[in-house]
Amino acid sequence: MNVPINLSSFQSQIWQQTKLAQLCGQQKLFHERYEVLRMIGRGGFGVTFLARDVSLPGQPPCVIKQLLPKVSDPSVLAKVRSRFQLEAQMLAKLGNHSQIPMLLDYFVAEGEFYLVQEYVRGVHLVKLVRRCGCLSEKALKSFLNNILPLLDFIHNNGVIHRDIKPQNIICCQDDGRLVLIDFGAVKEVIAQTKDTSDSTTTTHFVGTVGFAPPEQFSLRPTFGSDIFALGVTCLYLLTGKAPLEFSTNPQTGELKWADAVELSDSLAEILGKMLKVSVNKRYKSARAILAALELEPHRTQLANCMVANHQPISDKAGINQEERNLSEFCPPAAKAAITIREWKQRRRRKQQGYHNHIIPSLS
């Protein structure tokens, strides 16, 4: 096998490791239907290529992800193949959502695992921030209201993404929707392989340093792990700074981010809870964050109501002080009822006074 001389050492390594790289720009089809065009991504657990499905009308573009490493042990391959199929089927189910790329195909060939997904035209959020600048508070709320229902959908299907970060969120060129890519569950299947050269099981961390919370490093990710990663993503969108650029509290491990952003107290409190190091102190669900965001515009008004000082009502008003305070926060119908009751009390008092005045004069 002759390696092209015009490749860098990095490209040369990929060319030797992946069959797809060797097919780039060639007439030969992969899996008898895919024309491989170019490499578009490289991570710890796979290489991603842009291809064209020549078997379909219009030869639509697609993305082929070759998962690494290759599994050569037959006994291990059978186990991994079974889990790979289960996870791929779940990914196919999630792909019915408009903000998740559709899974078009998955297969195993010569010990290599492949996923074929819909190609989403657009740019990921890192490029978007570099081109257009950081988000305002208003834009960040819009982002959260857009991405949180998607996260709620994923979690309701029992799936943890494991690798939420700006690079894995694409702003679609066609309609501006946000699309979440590169789910970690399938990668974890490949990562947990047994090396037959010794008796130990090799398990690799799936995620991205800086975005993954402590429990994920312990290989015990939860739904809250995705919430933490989304919180760190928000920090990047607000500041343009990677998570490792923030210092941490040496006692708690919490990121020191408050001085780097300009947010209302209520939104800062929401973001702070998303970023808690302890999973028990974080939001338990995406839906809970959505509820907090919905309440957020009214929190200042509610806080003012809680601490409002009211002038005492004179005894002549004929109404209980507590009832008067409550009336200021009641619906219009309740306020009207209180007003009528006050009027009736004043009228009764006036009639009583008239009665007390008239009766003695007649006696």
Give mean pLDDT in consecutive 10-residue pieces for the chain, a chain of 363 residues: 49 67 89 94 84 96 87 79 88 94 93 93 96 97 98 96 96 95 80 51 76 93 97 98 96 95 95 97 97 84 62 48 51 65 73 51 41
Quote the pLDDT of residue 17. Answer: 66
Token reading at 141: 């709320």
Residues 338/344/350/353 CA torsion (nearest 10 deg): -100
Spatial contact of 76 and 86, defined as CB atoms under 8 Å apart? no
Residue closest to 76 by CA, chosen among 249, 228, 192: 192
| Residue 170 DSSP SS3 | strand
Pairing of strands 46-53, 34-43: antiparallel
Encoding tokens for residue 271? 């973001």
167 Cβ contact list (under 8 Å, min separation 6): 124, 125, 126
Contacts of 134 (CB under 8 A, 6+ apart): 237, 238, 239, 240
Token pair 């009027």 is found at 343
Please tell me the predicted confidence (pLDDT) of residue 351: 63
Euclidean distance between CA atoms 295 and 266, whole angstroms: 9
Gap between the Cα atoms of 257 and 267, Å rounded: 13
- Residue 134: the pLDDT is 97
Rounded CA separation 162/205 (Å): 10
Instruction: List phi, psi (to 5°) of 301.
Output: -65, -40
CA gap 17, 3 in Å, rounded = 11
Closest by CA position to 4, among listed 26, 35, 29, 30: 26
Does domain 121-307 fall under CATH 3.60.150.10? My reply is no
Which active-site residues does the annotation give? Answer: 163
138 annotated to a ligand binding site:
no
User: Which residue, 83, 100, 270, 97, is CA-closest to 179?
Assistant: 100
pLDDT of residue 67: 85
Q: Which of 290, 270, 293 is nearest to 282 (CA)?
A: 270
Q: Which two tokens stand for residue 265?
A: 């107290």
Q: Which CATH number fits domain 1-119: 3.50.30.30, 2.60.120.260, 3.10.129.10, 3.30.200.20?
A: 3.30.200.20
For residues 169 and 153, give the distance between their C-alpha atoms in angstroms, rounded to a whole number: 16
**Alpha-carbon gap, residue 123 to 132, rounded angstroms:** 12
* pLDDT at 360 (0 to 100): 45
Domain boundaries, the chain: 1-119, 121-307, 315-362
Predicted pLDDT of residue 265: 94
Secondary structure string (H, E, C) spanning 191-234: HCEECCCCCCEECCCCCCCCCCCHHHHCCCCCHHHHHHHHHHHH
Same fold, 1-119 and 121-307: no
